[in-house]
């Protein structure tokens, strides 16, 4: 199965991806992003307050630009809080636009069972199309 690469500063995104079984999960951070991927993955990115946003975007960009990682990224899942209005899932939306990657899904907080199912379905789709 395809892998999940994610960023989680508060633990909400980590709790979401940990609901997915039978796939490897790789956490990136500002000090841990130089990971070379050799298999397809979905990037799961949270959104935070505007003062944290640049750190998260830069970490994801550094990861995507490491080696040939961008070619293995099959799309983005964005996490956030709907109370942020237009900033809901802004990190994933920004990366989708900047790197021409599909925005696959947006979820709130730790995700609902439907959000988990959607991620599992997308991972299976990638597996069947590789």
User: What is the domain count for the chain?
Assistant: 1
pLDDT reported for residue 88:
85
Establish if 87 belongs to a structural domain. yes
Distances (CA, A) of 110 to 1, 37, 95: 22, 25, 20
Q: Which residues of 92-129 are buried (b: 16+ CB within 10 A; e: fewer)?
A: bbbbbeeeebeebbbbbbbbeeebbebbbebbeebeee
Per-position pLDDT tens, the chain of length 130:
799 999 998 899 999 999 999 899 999 999 999 999 999 999 999 987 765 678 889 999 999 999 999 999 999 999 988 877 787 889 999 999 999 999 999 999 899 999 999 999 999 999 888 6
Could you list the residue range(s) of the whole structural domain that residue 46 is in?
1-16+37-112
pTM score, whole prediction:
0.93
Establish if 122 belongs to a structural domain. no
């Amino acid at each position: 199965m395809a892998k999940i690469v994610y960023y989680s500063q508060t633990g909400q995104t980590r709790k979401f991806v940990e609901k997915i079984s039978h796939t490897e999960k790789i956490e990136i951070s500002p000090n841990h992003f130089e990971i070379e991927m050799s298999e397809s993955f979905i990037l799961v990115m949270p959104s935070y307050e505007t003062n944290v946003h640049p750190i998260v975007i830069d970490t994801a960009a550094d990861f995507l630009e490491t080696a040939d990682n961008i070619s293995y990224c099959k799309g983005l899942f964005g996490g956030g809080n709907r109370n942020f209005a237009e900033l809901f899932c802004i990190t994933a939306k920004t990366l989708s636009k900047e790197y021409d990657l599909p925005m696959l899904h947006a979820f709130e907080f730790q995700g609902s069972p439907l959000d988990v199912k959607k991620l599992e379905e997308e991972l299976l789709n990638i597996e069947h199309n590789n």
